[in-house]
Amino acid sequence: MRSTDLPIGRDQGVLTTSTGAPVASNQTSQTAGYNGPVLLQDFHLIDKLAHFDRERIPERVVHAKGAGAHGYFEVTNDVSHLTCAKFLSSVGKRTPIFTRFSTVGGETGSTDTARDPRGFAVKFYTEEGNWDMVGNNTPIFFIRDPIKFPDFIHTQKRDPRTHLKNPDMQWDFFSHVPEALHQVMILFSNRGTPDGFRHMHGYSSHTLKLVNEEGVPHYVKWHFRTDQGIKNFRAKEAAQMDGINPDYATQDLFEAIERGDHPSWTVYLQVLTEEQALNYEYNVLDVTKVISQKDFPLQEVGRLVLDRNPENYFAEVEQAAFSPSHMVPGIAPTADRMLQGRLFSYPDTHRHRLGANYQQLPINRPIAPVRNQQRDGPMSFGDNGGRLPNYEPNSLGGPHESHSVRETDAVSQAEGLLARHTYGLTDKDFEQPRALYNLLSKEEQQDLVDNIAGNIALAQPIFQRSILPHLLRIDNEFGSRIEAILKAKNPDL
Ligand code: HEM
């Protein structure tokens, strides 16, 4: 079945109003006489128009364009020594999941082939509540302090004056925040234009923690490696596909699942003891840095399979609400500053985008029973706690806290001076971008140089001049090649 083939079903019975009353006519409004005005008493008409008027909810402020699918995660290797998370407790155990892939900067109608990171968000419906792994297809990120995030995103969105994308904004920002250049290099390599969602890896990007039964933490990075193999578009191919089918990735995912070609990812961990994490040559809490796989090889933990398309895009994909703060016992945050900012930001935006009761929506509802004293609010459905007491502690047998629950996100020590401790820029920030450049094949280096230079050339000379020293600092050859292209276009640079 193609994604455009509408399903032809059996007769579903008589159309009703939103109150369930049968509808006699859905084609003609009630009027006073043949040429007379339309009547307010026509409940079906007014209800239909009024509901239509309210069809749009705010789109996600970032990652607005996306596609999702259901599936499962299966444990393939024992990691019970690392975590007490029940869904990871035994080999062969399966957990239902929902995954959403996305681009970042564009609006809901924007192209799937944009040069952009891709979101890679997975909701694990475990017996102890939902765990959301909200990552990207890149092992790192542009910035390492959440206070910079709104500014960074503004440079990726539209110019407030012209409502156009503006290369001046992004190169101006990157020249002030050169720690972004590691991720900028991935963005302008061919990994910045993946061939659909099935042919890319996913990463937690942040270092998270796993905590075992004894309360011992390990620092881990999650890697989801595509079993379909990496496939990218080169810049020209992406532009061509944009012209042919801007929904290419959405359609490709849907149709693959529909024809039974279920995409899968093998899931790995990089595991560090607390001591190894604290003594590693790079700060493992700085999300602009990778942890070398030579130092900490990937250890397989499981397999993620997507085998079912959503029945309804809005209900399942648009209303899906992922958050790095949705954790389960055995999985815990680290002090990564970006991650800490995200723990706040996602539920905050969900309450704005979907409402205070967003967790009650079927796509977000845990399979684990939810019992608490949260009541009321807009669109509280279900029984709203029924007759159970809406306070705790109580003597009425209502849901109560239990000290036997292991609070694995509260086992760290933290102390120090309350201050704005800045990371500062050092030579270390340029080592990994340099290594990345030298890891690329000659052809990949050429594509990267051409893609970056082509984009920088769109910015005003002042911004071209301010980014060049940082590119030269990464690698003299790399920076010089870009400089040569820019100077060929503008000898006065
Ligand atoms: C979506 C904030 C960094 C991955 C979002 C959304 C917000 C947000 C507000 C929209 C959520 C929604 O409306 O449902 C932030 C902030 C960040 C940050 C404040 C830094 C301080 C990151 C990083 C990653 C990431 C580092 C990846 C490692 C995602 C993904 C989505 C998303 C995958 C889309 C989730 C979905 O499919 O619904 N982010 N973000 N974000 N973010 Fe971030």
Ligand 1 atom closest to 138 (CA): 28
Instruction: Enumerate residues 6+ apart whose C-beta is below 8 A from 138.
Output: 117, 183, 186, 187, 191, 203, 205
ω into 393 cis (within 30 of 0) = yes
Residue 406 has pLDDT above 90, yes or no: no
Core vs surface per residue 466-479: b (16+ CB within 10 A) or e: ebbebbbbbbeebb
For ligand 1, is residue 453 a contact (CB within 6 Å)?
no
Residue 381 has pLDDT above 90, yes or no: no
Name the band, by pLDDT with cuts 50, 70 and 90, for residue 7: confident
Q: How much of the chain, in percent, has pLDDT values that exceed 90?
A: 95
For ligand 1, is residue 146 a contact (CB within 6 Å)?
yes
Q: Whose CA is nearest to atom 4 of ligand 1?
A: 135
Instruction: Give the per-residue pLDDT at 408.
Output: 84
For ligand 1, is residue 202 a contact (CB within 6 Å)?
no
Half-sphere exposure of 380 (CA within 13 A, CB side): 9
Phi/psi region, residue 355 (left: phi>0; alpha: psi -120 to 50; beta: rest), is left
Instruction: Give the per-residue pLDDT at 15.
Output: 96
Instruction: Give the per-residue pLDDT at 2.
Output: 84
For ligand 1, is residue 374 a contact (CB within 6 Å)?
no
Instruction: Give the per-residue pLDDT at 413.
Output: 80
- Measure 121 CA to ligand 1 centroid, in angstroms: 9
* pLDDT mean over 325-330: 97
- Measure 62 CA to ligand 1 centroid, in angstroms: 7
ipTM above 0.95, yes or no: yes
Ligand 1 atom closest to 68 (CA): 37
Report the distance separating Cα 217 and Cα 219, nearest Å.
Answer: 7
Q: Choose among 114, 122, 120, 111: nearest CA to 139.
A: 120
Core vs surface per residue 136-151: b (16+ CB within 10 A) or e: bbbbbbbbbbbebbee
Instruction: Give the per-residue pLDDT at 348.
Output: 98
* pLDDT mean over 242-268: 98
Ligand 1 atom closest to 206 (CA): 28
Ligand 1 atom closest to 141 (CA): 26
Residue 421 has pLDDT above 90, yes or no: yes
Interval 333-378: pLDDT, tens? 999 999 999 999 999 999 999 999 999 999 999 999 999 999 999 9
Q: Whose CA is nearest to atom 13 of ligand 1?
A: 60
Instruction: Give the per-residue pLDDT at 377.
Output: 96
Residue 154 has pLDDT above 90, yes or no: yes
CATH 3.20.20.140 fits 14-55, yes or no: no
Q: Which of 115-119, 236-240, 298-302, 394-398 has the lowest mean pLDDT?
A: 394-398
For ligand 1, is residue 201 a contact (CB within 6 Å)?
no
- Measure 307 CA to ligand 1 centroid, in angstroms: 25
Instruction: Give the per-residue pLDDT at 432.
Output: 98
- Measure 346 CA to ligand 1 centroid, in angstroms: 7
Instruction: Give the per-residue pLDDT at 372.
Output: 95
Name the band, by pLDDT with cuts 50, 70 and 90, for residue 274: very high
Residue 129 has pLDDT above 90, yes or no: yes
In this structure, are residues 93 and 78 in contact, taking their beta carbons and an 8 Å threshold?
A: no
Core vs surface per residue 365-389: b (16+ CB within 10 A) or e: ebeeeeeeeeeeeeeeeeeebeebe
Report the distance separating Cα 299 and Cα 406, nearest Å.
Answer: 25
Question: What is the reported pTM?
Answer: 0.97
Core vs surface per residue 112-131: b (16+ CB within 10 A) or e: bbbbbbbbbbbbbbbebbbb
Helix (H) or strand (E) holding 422, with range, is: none
Pairing relationship of beta strands 299-308 and 66-75 according to DSSP bridges? antiparallel
Tokens of 405: 């629950």
Mark out the alpha helices in 215-336 (DSSP H runs).
235-244, 248-258, 274-279, 313
Residue 156 has pLDDT above 80, yes or no: yes
* pLDDT mean over 406-420: 85
- In single-letter form, the type of residue at position 169 comes to M
Instruction: Give the per-residue pLDDT at 35.
Output: 97
User: What's the mean pLDDT when you consider all of the chain?
Assistant: 97
Name the band, by pLDDT with cuts 50, 70 and 90, for residue 50: very high
Of the residues 289, 342, 359, which should be mutated to test ligand 1's pocket, given the most ligand atoms within 8 Å of the CB?
Answer: 342
Instruction: Give the per-residue pLDDT at 85.
Output: 97
Q: Is 219 annotated as a binding residue?
A: no
Tell me, yes or no, if 63 is annotated catalytic.
Answer: yes
Residue 1 has pLDDT above 80, yes or no: no
In this structure, are residues 317 and 364 in contact, taking their beta carbons and an 8 Å threshold?
A: no
- 70, 130, 136, 182: the active-site residue: 136
For ligand 1, is residue 100 a contact (CB within 6 Å)?
yes
Chosen CATH of 66-355 out of 3.40.50.2300, 2.40.180.10, 1.10.10.10, 2.40.128.20:
2.40.180.10
DSSP category for residue 179:
G
Rounded-to-10 torsion of CA 442, 447, 452, 457: 110
Residue ranges covered by each domain of the chain: 14-55, 66-355, 430-489
How is the chain split among helix, strand and coil, in percent rounded to 5? 30, 15, 50
- Measure 119 CA to ligand 1 centroid, in angstroms: 8
For ligand 1, is residue 121 a contact (CB within 6 Å)?
yes
**What is the CB neighbour count within 10 angstroms for residue 358?**
21
Beta partners for residue 99, in sequence order: 69, 122
Residue 238 has pLDDT above 80, yes or no: yes
* pLDDT mean over 441-467: 98
* pLDDT mean over 75-79: 98
* pLDDT mean over 51-75: 98
- In single-letter form, the type of residue at position 440 comes to L
- 44, 63, 70, 199: the active-site residue: 63
- Measure 462 CA to ligand 1 centroid, in angstroms: 31
Q: Choose among 28, 262, 167: nearest CA to 456.
A: 167
For ligand 1, is residue 104 a contact (CB within 6 Å)?
no
